[in-house]
């Protein structure tokens, strides 16, 4: 019996990725990192800034996301996000610029606790990417 399921990632510009041979996906959900396997319970969750890890028989792919919504239902994982980047192709200048912009945002005195949490999460992930 197959242990694979389907994934679809969509951003405003296009369908970013569609594969049917996925064995596991680890997503940065608000509740924490969440692993999805075939026959996982149906779920809808929000993404926080982080790395999506997609595993198939061909190996592992990693993508950086800033936000989004995921839904897993009937062995199909749908991810809707405004920004997604392939870690292998991400520009180091983009990382540096995004990091500076995020650090500047944290200095805003009117920032909400939730916004500060998300920006801090984004900074942590961008710093880890800049080390690679």
What pLDDT is attached to residue 31? 87
How much is the average pLDDT of 67-96?
A: 93
What pLDDT is attached to residue 1? 55
What pLDDT is attached to residue 4? 94
pLDDT per residue over 11-43, tens digit each? 988 899 999 999 999 999 988 999 999 999 999
Calpha distance 10→29 (Å, rounded): 17
pLDDT per residue over 39-78, tens digit each? 999 999 999 999 999 999 889 999 999 999 999 999 999 9
Percentage of the chain with pLDDT > 90? 69
Burial 62-88 (b: 16+ CB within 10 A, else e): bbbbbbbebebeebebebbbeebbeee
Domain spans in the chain, listed from the N-terminal domain onward: 5-86, 91-131
Tell me: domain 5-86, CATH 3.40.50.150, correct? no
Calpha distance 122→99 (Å, rounded): 8
What pLDDT is attached to residue 90? 84
Cα 47 to the center of its chain, rounded Å: 6
Q: Output DSSP code: residue 1.
A: -
For the cut 90, the answer to whether the pLDDT of residue 108 exceeds it is no
Can you spell out the DSSP letters for 32-81? EEEEE-TTPPPEEEEE-SEEEEEEETTEEEEEEESSEEEEEETTEEEEE-
Cα 71 to the center of its chain, rounded Å: 13
Average pLDDT, the chain: 92
């Amino acid at each position: 019996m197959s242990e694979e399921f389907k994934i679809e990632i969509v951003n405003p510009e296009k369908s970013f990725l569609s594969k049917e041979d996925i064995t596991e996906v680890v997503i940065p959900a608000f509740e924490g990192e969440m692993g999805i396997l075939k026959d996982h319970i149906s779920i809808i969750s929000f993404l926080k800034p982080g790395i999506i890890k997609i595993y198939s028989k061909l190996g592992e792919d990693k993508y950086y996301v800033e936000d989004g919504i995921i839904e897993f239902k009937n062995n199909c994982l749908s991810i809707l996000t405004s920004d997604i980047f392939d870690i292998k192709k991400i520009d180091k200048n983009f990382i540096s610029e995004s990091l500076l912009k995020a650090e500047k945002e944290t200095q805003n005195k009117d920032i909400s606790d939730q916004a500060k949490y998300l920006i801090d999460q984004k900074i942590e992930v961008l710093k880890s990417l800049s080390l690679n």
